[in-house]
Amino acid sequence: MNDIPNTFRNQPDERGHFGQFGGRYVAETLMPLVLELEKEYRRAKADPAFQAEFDDLLEHYVGRPSPLYFAPRLTAEFGGAQVWFKRDELNHTGAHKINNCIGQILLAIRMGKTRIIAETGAGQHGVATATVCARFGLPCVIYMGATDVARQQPNVFRMKLLGAEVIPVTSGAKTLKDAMNEALRDWVANVHDTFYIIGTAAGPHPYPELVRDFQSVIGKEARAQMLERTGRLPDLLVAAIGGGSNAIGLFHPFLDDPDVRMLGVEAAGHGLDKQHAASLAGGRPGILHGNKTYLLQDEDGQIAEAHSISAGLDYPGIGPEHSWLKEIGRVEYTSVTDDEALSAFQLLCRTEGIIPALEPSHAIAAVAKVAPTMPKDSIICANLCGRGDKDIFTVAEHLGVAI
């Protein structure tokens, strides 16, 4: 038995823990449902028909596989490693979020649930959830902080067009964290018929695991595409991290490839010494929203307000598997400020003709720092997890342009 290789891909344990992180810190009312979800997910995972339906929808509805693209002008600009992008911004609805929503709504249907709820920050997960609800004819309620409703009107309108009810949340700071609290309050009152589609690889077990598994299509494709195109694996993977679902989706299939380094990029907002959303860099372990993970908090365990120019990264926590990967040292984590992300956003527009979302703009900013230090025959694969159409108003405002 000693010859079983060590692996970074056998987490979480049977109690949903990634090392000391993860777990199921939920109210007793939700616990039986969380256990039932885990059982049903095990059954679905073992059911070829479930996988076949998931794959079919990803291919014909979402538009997968997404391309793996070599960025020649950006590579020349940096003058170091070759820069490649996994183009998940080309998915239906414009981001990686839809991969997970397809998987979860299939689970909801398997469990006989007839009503879907979700939280959203920028509205990308809300739009993806409203999309799959329209596709499968299920009523959909989206909780969104009132502050975010005001600053993300186009996505609010999209969700409504798709038939979702958008409920502005006025508690707390009226952003993503409060939307998640309110979604949990809805869930606890409607456990019998409602499925909660969580948008990132966080929350109570089994959510971090199942969201990771659904998003791992990103890394599985990227690995096969890279081998086919270059005959080798990349030297470095780079992805932005809010909750961390696009990053874990890219990283996980490569975790046991010892020569592949990985870099997760948190949002440093105005700077790590000011308001930011970098839970790993500026937080410490705690318990929130069903899991133990790194959180931005004060010495009494009160949760701090996060800040990022990117609403999708504006959350004071991070998925528990990232906390574990940081502690064991398998993945490196860094952070990028609002200003650096804005510069990277504009750079990609001009060099490659791609308008990225502000979330992957953080990954691109990190690539800008590391690529020049690497040899020209080395390969970086960054996840372009969303497109920037939703962000042009925010960017214009920051550049002082009236549109």
The two tokens of residue 168 are: 């502005």
Size of the site for other proteins (CB under 8 A): 38
Selected from 185, 220, 330, 398, the binder of other proteins by CB under 8 A is 185
Q: Which one of 78-86, 124-132, 169-177, 239-247 is the stretch in contact with other proteins (CB under 8 A)?
A: 169-177
Work out how close the CB of 27 gets to other proteins at its nearest, in angstroms, rounded to a whole number.
5
For 82-108, b where at least 16 C-beta lie within 10 A, e where not — what string?
bbbbbbbbbbbbbbbbbbbbbbbbbbb
* The only residue of 3, 5, 28, 353 in contact with other proteins, by rule CB under 8 A: 28
Give the separation between CA 184 and CA 46, rounded to whole angstroms.
29
Question: In angstroms, what is the minimal distance from the CB of 327 to other proteins?
Answer: 18
| Binder among 4, 137, 192, 273 for other proteins (CB under 8 A) | 192
Does residue number 287 form part of the binding site for other proteins (CB under 8 A)?
yes
Asked whether the beta carbons of 85 and 382 are under 8 A apart, the reply is yes
Residue with tokens 């969580």: 198
C-beta of residue 331 within 8 angstroms of C-beta of residue 280: no
From the list 8, 11, 18, 24, which residue makes contact with other proteins (rule: CB under 8 A)?
Answer: 24
Cα angle, residue 209 at apex, residues 205 and 211 outer, rounded to 5°: 110
By CB under 8 A, is residue 114 in contact with other proteins? Answer: no
Binding other proteins (rule: CB under 8 A), the pick from 8, 12, 21, 33 is 33
Q: Does 13 bind other proteins (CB under 8 A)?
A: no
Report residue 80: phi and psi, to 5°: -135, -120
Q: What residues pair up with 56 in beta bridges, in sequence order?
A: none
Instruction: Answer yes or no whether residue 203 interacts with other proteins by CB under 8 A.
Output: no
Question: Any contact of residue 184 with other proteins (CB under 8 A)?
Answer: yes
Does 188 engage in binding with other proteins (CB under 8 A)?
yes
* Lookup result for tokens 């979402």: 62
Q: Is 179 in the site for other proteins (CB under 8 A)?
A: no
264: β partners: 239, 333
- Residue position matching structure tokens 């479930």: 50
Q: Give least dist CB 190 to other proteins, A.
A: 8
- The residue within the footprint of other proteins, chosen from 13, 31, 52, 232 (CB under 8 A), is 31
- Compute the C-alpha angle 67/363/88, nearest 5°: 25
Piece of the chain touching other proteins by CB under 8 A; list 244-252, 286-294, 331-339, 354-362: 286-294
Rounded distance, CA 379 to CA 233, Å?
8
Q: Which amino acid is at 223?
A: R
Q: Is 288 in the site for other proteins (CB under 8 A)?
A: yes
**Interaction between residue 172 and other proteins (CB under 8 A):** yes
- Whole-angstrom CA distances from 125 to 80, 152, 361 are 35, 13, 18
User: Which amino acid, one-letter code, is at 192?
Assistant: H
Q: Does 102 bind other proteins (CB under 8 A)?
A: no
User: Rule CB under 8 A: is residue 276 a binding residue for other proteins?
Assistant: no
| Beta carbons of 142 and 164 less than 8 angstroms apart | yes
> What letter would DSSP give residue 173?
T
Q: Taking CB under 8 A as the rule, does residue 271 contact other proteins?
A: no
The answer to the question of residue 112 lying near other proteins (CB under 8 A) is no
In this chain, which of 234, 244, 283, 286 binds other proteins, going by CB under 8 A? 286
Interface segment toward other proteins; rule CB under 8 A; list 180-188, 235-243, 364-372, 379-387: 180-188
Q: How far is the CB of 103 from other proteins (least distance, A)?
A: 24
373 binds other proteins (CB under 8 A): no
Question: 298 to 317, contacts with other proteins by CB under 8 A?
Answer: 299-303
Residue type, 110: R
Q: Does residue 246 belong to the site contacting other proteins (CB under 8 A)?
A: no
Residue type at position 227: L
Tell me how far apart the alpha carbons of residues 120 and 183 are, in angstroms, rounded to a whole number: 10
Establish if 290 lies at the interface with other proteins (CB under 8 A). Answer: yes
Site residues for other proteins per CB under 8 A: 15, 23-33, 171-172, 177-178, 180-181, 184-185, 188-192, 286-290, 292, 295, 297, 299-303
